[in-house]
């Protein structure tokens, strides 16, 4: 499914079209807008996506699959990544409508749609496929520490929380590096990154003993590049997602980290009893946890200044730079040239 040519996507967001709940939809629109022919969302039907999420100008929002068929879509993409990754029951009709109209299904949910008897039967009847992006290969090895022996420069994004901009930062670093003539590769480790790039491993669906092996495999398979910009997952201090963060850190053996943070967020997303910890604490913690496998250091702070004016964002960037003595930026508002300046001297 990741080899579909000339993708014409309808993205399903059904009442959850915002920057965080629909982060999959938002990211696909941001980086693959030319592939998107419509959004299906009864709540926002008739609006322009730009007025709702700030991007996607001109993409129609329609209330049902049938209203997008004249645009000749060939796949329906599930546009949300909810906690637990389960399918909202009210979305079943949209999926069955898509299958009956000959659309492939692209899903990043934790529940595999191929395991649903009705969906599987409809896909067979209408000669289409269901791509469960979070269905990793059975051929993932245990981690062995071999990633540290590659010459490629490995930069991993880490976070003060989940759903905070690690993928966006990694993609922006890749693009900016290529513009400077660096042979760079984005390494997708989550369902949305895989949908955008077409390859990768959704490491949050890998059996825990093999997470570091999955990260290592991603590095070894791309060792021909000068720079690997590796998408991070979760945060090391999250009660639900810390395991995948540590597996990525040890498996990819990065030489450098970019710490992602949202200044306006005070507690972990969906876990309000857990405060966001100080950047200085997190910098020290990530570097100490990496050291036994492969020493590395935090090279910069990526700030998600969503909801802030450019002026306030610049003031926050300056404050963080004074506090951490590290370059900081908001990748969407101001680009990542500061990070490339820090990365460039480390290239092989």
Domain at 69, CATH number: 3.40.50.720
161 located within any domain: yes
Rounded Cα distance, 105 and 126, in Å: 12
Looking at the fold, whether 34 and 83 belong to one and the same domain comes out as: yes
Looking at the fold, whether 191 and 300 belong to one and the same domain comes out as: yes
Count Cβ atoms below 10 Å from residue 37 Cβ, excluding itself: 20
- 165: nearest Cα among 339, 348, 343, 347: 339
Looking at the fold, whether 91 and 184 belong to one and the same domain comes out as: no
Looking at the fold, whether 187 and 326 belong to one and the same domain comes out as: yes
Taking only the tens place, the pLDDT of each residue in 77-118 is 999 876 666 788 888 999 999 999 999 999 998 889 999 999
Averaged confidence pLDDT in the chain: 94
**Domain region containing 118:** 9-132
Number of domains in the chain: 2
Share of the chain above pLDDT 90, in %: 88
**267-268 and 271-275: which strand pairing?**
antiparallel
- 78: nearest Cα among 158, 171, 1, 188: 1
250 located within any domain: yes
Taking only the tens place, the pLDDT of each residue in 249-295 is 999 999 999 999 999 999 998 899 999 999 999 999 999 999 999 99
3-state helix, strand and coil shares in percent for the chain, rounded to the nearest 5: 40, 15, 40
- Give the pTM: 0.92
Instruction: Please give the structure tokens belonging to residue 103.
Output: 């659309």
Give the angle subtended at the CA of 301 by the CAs of 298 and 304, to the nearest 5°. Answer: 145
Looking at the fold, whether 57 and 117 belong to one and the same domain comes out as: yes
Looking at the fold, whether 252 and 340 belong to one and the same domain comes out as: yes
Looking at the fold, whether 37 and 109 belong to one and the same domain comes out as: yes
Looking at the fold, whether 152 and 126 belong to one and the same domain comes out as: no
Burial letters 66-93, b for 16+ CB under 10 A, else e: eebbeeebbbbbbbbbeeebebeeebee
Looking at the fold, whether 327 and 249 belong to one and the same domain comes out as: yes
Lowest mean pLDDT among 18-22, 164-168, 192-196, 267-271: 18-22
Taking only the tens place, the pLDDT of each residue in 242-257 is 999 999 999 999 999 9
Looking at the fold, whether 171 and 121 belong to one and the same domain comes out as: no
């Amino acid at each position: 499914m990741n080899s579909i040519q000339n993708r014409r996507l309808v993205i399903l967001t059904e009442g959850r079209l915002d920057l965080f709940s629909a982060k999959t939809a938002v990211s696909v629109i941001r980086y693959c807008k030319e592939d998107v022919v419509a959004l299906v969302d009864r709540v926002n039907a008739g609006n322009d996506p730009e007025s709702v999420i700030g991007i996607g100008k001109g993409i129609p929002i329609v209330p049902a699959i049938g209203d997008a068929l004249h645009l000749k879509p060939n796949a329906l993409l599930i546009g949300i990544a909810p906690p637990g990754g389960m399918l909202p029951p009210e979305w079943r009709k949209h999926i069955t409508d898509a299958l009956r109209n000959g659309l492939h299904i692209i899903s990043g949910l934790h529940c595999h749609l191929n395991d649903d008897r009705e969906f599987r039967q409809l896909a067979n009847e209408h000669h289409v496929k269901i791509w469960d992006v979070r269905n990793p290969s059975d051929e993932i090895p245990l981690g062995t520490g071999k990633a540290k022996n590659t010459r490629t420069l490995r930069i991993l994004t880490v976070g003060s929380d989940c759903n905070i901009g690690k993928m966006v930062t990694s993609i922006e670093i890749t693009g900016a590096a290529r513009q400077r003539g660096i042979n760079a590769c984005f390494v997708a480790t989550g369902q949305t990154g895989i949908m955008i790039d077409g390859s990768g491993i959704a490491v949050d669906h890998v059996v825990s003993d093999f997470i570091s092996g999955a990260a290592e495999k991603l590095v070894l398979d791309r060792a021909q590049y000068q720079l690997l910009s590796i998408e991070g997952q979760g945060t090391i201090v999250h009660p639900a997602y810390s395991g995948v963060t540590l597996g990525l850190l040890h498996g990819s053996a990065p030489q450098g980290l970019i710490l992602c943070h949202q200044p306006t967020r005070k507690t972990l997303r969906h876990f309000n009893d857990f405060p966001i910890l100080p950047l200085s604490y997190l910098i020290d913690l990530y570097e100490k946890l990496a050291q036994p496998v492969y020493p590395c250091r935090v090279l910069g702070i990526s700030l998600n200044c969503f909801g802030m004016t450019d002026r306030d964002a610049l003031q926050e960037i300056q404050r963080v730079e004074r506090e951490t003595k590290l370059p900081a930026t908001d990748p969407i508002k101001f680009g990542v040239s500061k990070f490339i300046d820090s990365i460039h001297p480390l290239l092989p």
